[in-house]
Amino acid sequence: MLSPSDLVRDLKITIIFCTRLPLTHAKPIEAADIARASWAMPLGGALVGLIGAAVYWLATAIGLPQWPAAALALAATMLATGCLHEDGLADTADGFGGGASRDDKLRIMHDPRHGSFAIIALLLSLGLRAAALATIGEPIQVGLALIAAHATSRSGLPCLMRGLGPARTDGLGATAGRPSLTVSLIALGIGGAIALGLLGPLRGAAALTAGALALAVAGIIAHRQIGGYTGDVLGACQQIGEIVMLLVAAAR
């Protein structure tokens, strides 16, 4: 049973690991720390979504139309994370799309330069998310959708880390460690509760189902392409989950 101080410590580690928010930790963060604290990934995601929600509300409060407000909200979430997940999506798209072999794919993913597949993936991600937010339109509903999408899109990552295993012996994916079954289930429970609570039982259940299917497909593709996950793959999966959640939230 974790004490309140342990819960705060894990949440802080998760926020440091998943965002660029100015938090510090007394000791260097190790693999075991990240794996243990990954139950809090949905809560860290909810914080990022809350930042985007606040920016969308401010943008609409000063009279901006929905599309510019949506773009600013997305920009705020990307600033909060340092574009960590968008970079992962871009690298994964380049590697999976342009590599001929497993080693070739991993080499391309490790290259900081971005090619055509990366650009297309980023354009699709930004366009679909902005369109979903603009379609929802109403600031409170946009805020609820952003918080739910960012929280739930991270809730399945510990399961992915546990089920696939790292594809490399170095890098972010390898150093993050392997979450326990309990940690993975807690993350899923928190993400599911947030989605159902903020989107409602029917839309929340639909979003969870669609997100779970998308994550499962992404995991299968990653296993077939490179034999596991990397930090880039985790970022890509977060992006896919966020997109799916926002699209379901925007559906009429």
> Would you state the pLDDT for residue 1?
59
Cβ atoms of 250 and 145 closer than 8 Å: yes
pLDDT, one tens digit per residue, over 73-120 is 999 999 999 999 999 999 999 999 988 889 899 999 988 888 899 999
pLDDT surpassing 70 at residue 195: yes
48-60 tens-digit pLDDT: 999 999 999 999 9
What's the pTM value of the predicted model, to 2 decimals? 0.93
Q: Do residues 235 and 84 make contact, with C-beta atoms less than 8 angstroms apart?
A: yes
- Sequence-ordered list of residues with C-beta below 8 angstroms from that of 73, at least 6 positions apart, any chain: 52, 53, 55, 56, 59, 133, 142, 146
Q: What percent of the chain has pLDDT over 90?
A: 69
Rounded-to-integer distance, Cα 229 and Cα 168, Å: 8
Using one digit for the tens of pLDDT, what is the confidence trace for 210-252? 999 999 999 999 999 999 899 899 999 999 999 999 999 999 7
Domain boundaries, the chain: 4-250
pLDDT for the residue 203: 95
Residue 133 has pLDDT above 90, yes or no: yes
Dist. CA 102–CA 67, nearest whole Å: 40
Q: Can you tell me the distance from the alpha carbon of 175 to that of 248, in angstroms, rounded to the nearest whole number?
A: 33
Q: What pLDDT was estimated at residue 21? A: 83
**Cα separation of 110 and 103, whole Å?**
11
Distance CA 152, CA 171 (A): 25
Task: Give the integer Cα–Cα distance in Å for 194 and 209.
Answer: 14
pLDDT band at 37 (very low <50, low <70, confident <90, very high): confident
- How sure is the predictor about 128, in pLDDT bands with cuts at 50, 70 and 90? very high
pLDDT over 90 at 126, yes or no: yes
